[in-house]
């Protein structure tokens, strides 16, 4: 067997697995370099904003480099192309995230799992700043978990394996968050499945970014912890019941409870019923009007 078989596809491109590994290396180098050069300045914005800025810059640079040099395609082709459906996808994302979080909150309150109490309203002054940080963070996470690396996984392994691997990593990387539990990790994996489907069904990042941002923002606006993090105080605060943590997630927030599990499953079921249009495209090939996917290659 020709040794190049393990590295090069029949059409002369580097196999998807190697391109994925190169992205990881490139991203790590960018992360280290930007941390070293910019973190002293960025920390003036606060640790959460600094982390979001460093990750965002690293993800954008690494994605641009891989798209430009290995895919011979523009950065926007990773999922940021503006099309006729873009506005609809953003509205569905923003609305879907807000509606699900709103429903979760109402159900928890009606079940007596949480109650609202007055609080110091001074934290509301950080609403605009936190909104920007949450949007950057959501966009960055989607670029990393549903962008170039995920798309190379789909290209090399097929969509089912790619979704499972990406969602599992998405959940495990949230494990170090404060007050995380096995259920919160499982729910985050389930959210990863939902967000992956949102990309696969639209062939764009607008829907997953809109949903991800709206989910986190609505949760913070309601005074709930977001993945174990207290982002800011509103004129009210949510006090969870000490008895039914399995239902409402306790100090981790709704993402650690069974009500959120049910809501995410409904979201996954909704997306599974939608017709998808994902295409793993070779370099410089425009999307096909037929919507048919080219044959999958092997990862390595």
Sign of the torsion formed by the C-alpha atoms of 126, 128, 130 and 133? negative
Q: Are residues 59 and 100 in the same domain?
A: no
Are residue 112 and residue 258 in the same domain, yes or no? Answer: yes
∠ CA 47-48-50 to the nearest 5 degrees?
65
| pTM attached to this predicted model | 0.89
292 within domain boundaries: no
How does residue 124 score in pLDDT terms, banded at 50, 70 and 90? low
Q: How many residues does the chain have?
A: 300
Residues 170 and 41 in one domain: no
Judgement on whether residues 37 and 138 belong to the same structural domain of the protein: no
Q: What is the pLDDT of residues 155-203, one digit of tens each?
A: 999 999 999 999 999 999 999 999 999 999 999 999 999 999 999 999 9
Residue with tokens 């949007």: 135
| Domain shared by 69 and 211, yes or no | no
Q: DSSP letters of 88-102?
A: HHHHHHHHHHHHHHH
Is residue 223 a contact partner of residue 119, using CB atoms and an 8 Å limit?
Answer: yes
With respect to residue 153, please indicate whether it lies within any of the assigned structural domains. Answer: yes
Pick from 62, 83, 217, 81: which is nearest to 143 by CA?
62
Q: Other C-beta atoms within 10 Å of 170: how many?
A: 23
Range of the domain at 271: 84-280
- Residues 197 and 255 both lie in one domain: yes
Does residue 81 surpass a pLDDT of 90? yes
> CA–CA distance from 112 to each of 11, 103, 239 (Å)?
60, 14, 10
Instruction: From 78, 104, 125, give the residue that closes a domain.
Output: 78
Please indicate, yes or no, whether residues 141 and 55 belong to a single structural domain of this protein: no
Split into its structural domains, the chain has a count of 2
Q: What is the mean pLDDT of residues 2-7?
A: 70
Per the prediction, the chain carries an average pLDDT of: 88
pLDDT score of 45: 82
């Amino acid at each position: 067997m020709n040794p190049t078989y393990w590295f090069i596809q029949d059409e002369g491109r580097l196999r998807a697995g190697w391109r994925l590994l190169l992205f990881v290396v490139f991203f790590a180098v960018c992360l280290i370099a930007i941390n070293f050069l910019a973190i002293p300045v960025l920390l003036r914005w606060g640790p959460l904003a600094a982390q979001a800025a460093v990750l965002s810059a690293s993800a954008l640079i690494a994605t641009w480099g891989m798209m430009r040099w290995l895919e011979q395609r523009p950065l926007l082709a990773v999922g940021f192309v503006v099309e006729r459906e873009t506005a609809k996808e953003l509205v569905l994302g923003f609305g879907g995230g807000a509606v699900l979080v709103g429903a979760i909150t109402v159900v928890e309150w009606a079940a007596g799992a949480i109650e609202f109490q007055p609080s110091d309203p001074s934290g509301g002054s950080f609403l605009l700043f936190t909104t920007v940080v949450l949007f950057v963070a959501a966009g960055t996470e989607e670029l990393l978990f549903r962008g170039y690396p995920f798309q190379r996984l789909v290209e090399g392994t097929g969509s089912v394996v790619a979704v499972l691997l990406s969602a599992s990593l998405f959940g495990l990387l949230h494990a170090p968050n404060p007050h995380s539990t096995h259920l919160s990790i499982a729910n985050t994996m389930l959210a990863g499945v939902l967000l992956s489907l949102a990309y696969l069904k639209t062939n764009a990042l607008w829907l997953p970014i809109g949903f991800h941002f709206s989910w986190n923002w609505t949760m913070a606006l309601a005074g709930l912890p977001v993945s174990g993090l207290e982002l800011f105080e509103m004129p009210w605060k949510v006090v969870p019941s000490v008895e039914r943590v399995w239902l409402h997630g306790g100090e981790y927030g709704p993402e650690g409870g069974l009500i959120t599990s049910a809501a995410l499953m409904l979201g996954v079921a909704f997306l599974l019923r939608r017709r998808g249009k994902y295409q793993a495209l070779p370099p410089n090939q425009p999307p096909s009007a037929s919507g048919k996917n080219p044959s999958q290659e092997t990862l390595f």
